[in-house]
Structure 1
Amino acid sequence: MIEMIPVLPTGVVVHTDSLEDRALLQHYPLNSTAREFLTLIDGCRSLSSIAEQIAERYRQPREVVLKDLGQLSLELYHHGLLNWRETWHQRSTRWLLALRTRMLPAVYTWRSDPPLTTNTLLLLSWLYLEVWRAWLPVLSAGLLVAAVAGALLAVLPLLPLAYLALALCLTLSICLHEGGHLIVLRHYCGAGSGFFLRTGPLLRLIRPPLERPAAEIAVNAAGPLLPGSIGLLALIWHLLHPWPLDWLLIALFGVHLLQLLLPNPDLNNIVQALRSGHRGN
Structure 2
Amino acid sequence: MKLDDKVAIITGAGSGIGRSLAQRFAANGARAVICTDLNGDRAEETARLIGQQASAETLDVADENAIRDIIARVEQAYDGIDVFVSNAGYGRLGGLEMPTLEWQKMMSVHTWSHLAAARAVVPGMIARGGGYLLSTASAAGLLSQFDSGAYAVSKHAAVALAEWLSINYVEQGIGVSVLCPQAVRTNVLDFMKDPNALVDVVQAGGDGVLEPDTVADLCIEAMADGRFLVLPHPEVGTYFQRKANDYDRWLSGMRRMRNRFQDAASD
TM value normalised by structure 2? 0.30
* Structure (1 or 2) with the larger CA radius of gyration: 1
Which structure shows the higher helix fraction? 1
TM value normalised by structure 1? 0.29
